[in-house]
């Protein structure tokens, strides 16, 4: 099984390997959706749809 790492996950691990393990591996803490994270998720989804399905980007 291949593991995918993002810049954020690598920085989290470098900052505190134990916290990384508890948050990302054990999933002890739920992430809280903020306005910024919801916006970022929507932007990533729009680009993913554009690249994968050639869906036009929203204006």
Write down the H helix ranges in the chain.
7-15, 17-20, 35-53
For the chain, report the end-to-end CA distance as a whole number of angstroms: 38
**pLDDT tens digits, residue range 2-56?**
677 889 899 999 999 999 999 989 989 877 899 999 999 999 999 999 999 988 8
Q: 27 in helix, strand or coil?
A: coil
Q: Can you tell me the distance from the alpha carbon of 43 to that of 50, in angstroms, rounded to the nearest whole number?
A: 11
Nearest partner of 46 among 22, 38, 29, 36, judged by Cα: 38
Task: Check: CB of residue 50 under 8 Å from CB of residue 56.
Answer: yes
User: What pLDDT does residue 2 have?
Assistant: 63
**What pTM, to 2 d.p., does this model score?**
0.50
The confidence band for 1, taking pLDDT boundaries of 50, 70 and 90, is low
């Amino acid at each position: 099984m291949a593991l995918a790492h993002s810049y954020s996950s690598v920085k989290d691990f470098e900052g505190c390997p134990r916290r990384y393990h508890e948050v990302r591996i054990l999933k002890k803490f739920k992430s809280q959706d903020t306005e910024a994270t919801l916006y970022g998720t929507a932007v990533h989804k729009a680009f993913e749809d554009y690249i994968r399905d050639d869906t036009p980007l929203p204006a």
